[in-house]
Amino acid sequence: MSQPFLKDTFEEIELLKRQKNAVILAHYYQEPDIQDVADFVGDSLELARAAQRSQADLIVFAGVHFMAEGAKILNPSRKVLLPDLRAGCSLANSCPPEAFAALRARHPDHFVVSYINCSAAIKAQSDVICTSSNAVKIIESIPPERPILFAPDRNLGAWLEKKTGRKMLLWQGACIVHETFSERKIAALQVEHPDAELIAHPECEESLLSKAQFIGSTSALLRYVVESPVNKFIVATEGGILHQMKKGAPKKTLIPAPPNQNCACNECPYMKLNTLEKLRDALRDETPEIKMTEKLRKQAELPLLKMMEWSSQIGKNA
Ligand code: 13P
Ligand code: SF4
């Protein structure tokens, strides 16, 4: 049977999706075209849930490696594709499994909480996983007498210490995107736009977070912009989220927080390795595929399932 005439990459993707019973899951930091072609767009927690309940034969994960790995861990019978396998994460890279195992060995009494932005090898060494959406509630669910080791994000960890009053042993990792913002330039913007609220992701540094009017995960920031009576925001997180913010609140003014350098450093270079064309090719060729040993998958699945279980007990937004 001959292929129908295809107008553009969007149509090719739609056709391949139907032919292969595939689903496209995209993170808010993906380029706008990818978000628009996706079946589901969300933050890390929402995407993990979507991957877990998916019945599709193929999951194309438009995000970064640890996210696609998470989808595979939670849904091993499905083929999981990542359009560009090099789409890593500076935060995940900042926590090598051997060094982490050595730290754990020095603190055997600690309950290990790992942020989902880490490799399967780190998840496999953890007691429970959290995302920026549910981290406060996950920490609060741990018995108060139990010391906690938190990895890999030092900024999220420090923010959690403040929110929960729990002192934790923190792995000193960070995200290159969320540590890029210039507080001097943000202060200048606030003088220019005194009616704007500064909103930030908890991966940003403490000195910036202390000046923010609202702090939350990408989904929480999006909800806040749409639902708040305020009309102007300076947004300190990856620029990709602005696409959904503009859709949800078309009349509001959104100012991306400026980076230190004259660069597009508020765009995650790993997330942006995925393109619409690479996504189309991945669907067509069913590669590159996320693979791991069943032993590692099972070890990493336990703390992820614990997060899902605790998180569903905690409530809708956790
Ligand atoms: P969330 O999607 O949980 O807000 O995380 C942001 C992030 O840095 C993803 O890489
Ligand atoms: Fe990793 Fe930061 Fe990119 Fe998120 S934005 S994928 S934490 S480098």
Q: Is the CB of 22 under 6 A from ligand 2?
A: no
> Domain residue spans in the chain?
9-87+272-287, 91-176+299-317, 183-267
Residue 125 CB partners (closer than 8 Å, separation 6+): 97, 100, 101, 104, 112, 114
Ramachandran area for residue 30 (φ above 0: left; ψ -120 to 50: alpha; else beta) = beta
Long-range contacts at 230-235 (CB < 8 A, ≥ 24 apart)? 230/195, 230/197, 231/195, 232/193, 232/195, 232/196, 232/197, 233/196, 233/197, 233/198, 233/199, 234/186, 234/189, 234/190, 234/193, 234/196, 234/197, 234/198, 234/199, 235/199
Ligand 1 center to residue 18 CA distance, Å? 29
pLDDT in tens, 84-113: 999 999 999 999 999 999 999 999 999 999
Return the ligand 2 atom nearest residue 92 CA.
1
Task: Judge whether 128 and 303 are in contact, CB under 8 Å.
Answer: yes
Q: Same topology for domains 9-87+272-287 and 91-176+299-317, yes or no?
A: yes
The CATH code that applies to domain 91-176+299-317 is: 3.40.50.10800
Look at ligand 1, atom 9, and give the residue with the nearest C-alpha. 44
pLDDT in tens, 2-47: 455 556 999 999 999 999 999 999 999 999 999 999 999 999 889 9
pLDDT of amino acid 318:
45
Q: Is the CB of 118 under 6 A from ligand 2?
A: no
Task: Judge whether 53 and 46 are in contact, CB under 8 Å.
Answer: no
Return the ligand 1 atom nearest residue 43 CA.
2
Closest-lying ligand to the alpha carbon of 178? 2
Superfamily name with CATH number, domain 183-267 = NadA-like (3.40.50.10800)
Q: Does residue 220 surpass a pLDDT of 60?
A: yes
pLDDT band at 263 (very low <50, low <70, confident <90, very high): confident
> Alpha carbon of 108 to those of 111, 242, 260: distances in Å?
8, 42, 40
Determine the residue of 40, 117, 138, 272 to mutate for testing ligand 1's pocket, defined as the one with the most ligand atoms within 8 A of the Cβ atom: 117
240-246 average pLDDT score: 97
Look at ligand 2, atom 6, and give the residue with the nearest C-alpha. 89
Return the ligand 1 atom nearest residue 175 CA.
8
Return the ligand 2 atom nearest residue 66 CA.
6
Backbone phi, then psi, for 139, in 5-degree steps? -60, -40
Please give the DSSP secondary-structure letter assigned to residue 7: -
Return the ligand 1 atom nearest residue 45 CA.
3
Tokens 């900024």 sit at which residue? 155
Look at ligand 2, atom 3, and give the residue with the nearest C-alpha. 268
Closest by CA to 114, choosing from 103, 104, 128, 100, is 128
Q: Is the CB of 119 under 6 A from ligand 2?
A: no
Determine the residue of 69, 115, 155, 203 to mutate for testing ligand 1's pocket, defined as the one with the most ligand atoms within 8 A of the Cβ atom: 203
pLDDT of amino acid 316:
47
Average pLDDT over all residues of the chain: 94
Ligand 1 center to residue 1 CA distance, Å? 43
pLDDT in tens, 277-291: 999 999 999 999 999
Look at ligand 2, atom 1, and give the residue with the nearest C-alpha. 89
The CATH code that applies to domain 9-87+272-287 is: 3.40.50.10800
pLDDT of amino acid 1:
45
Return the ligand 1 atom nearest residue 89 CA.
10
Q: Is the CB of 126 under 6 A from ligand 2?
A: no
Predicted structure pTM score: 0.94
Look at ligand 1, atom 10, and give the residue with the nearest C-alpha. 117
Ligand 2 center to residue 224 CA distance, Å? 21
Q: Does residue 193 surpass a pLDDT of 70?
A: yes
pLDDT of amino acid 311:
86
Closest-lying ligand to the alpha carbon of 43? 1
Ligand 2 center to residue 305 CA distance, Å? 23
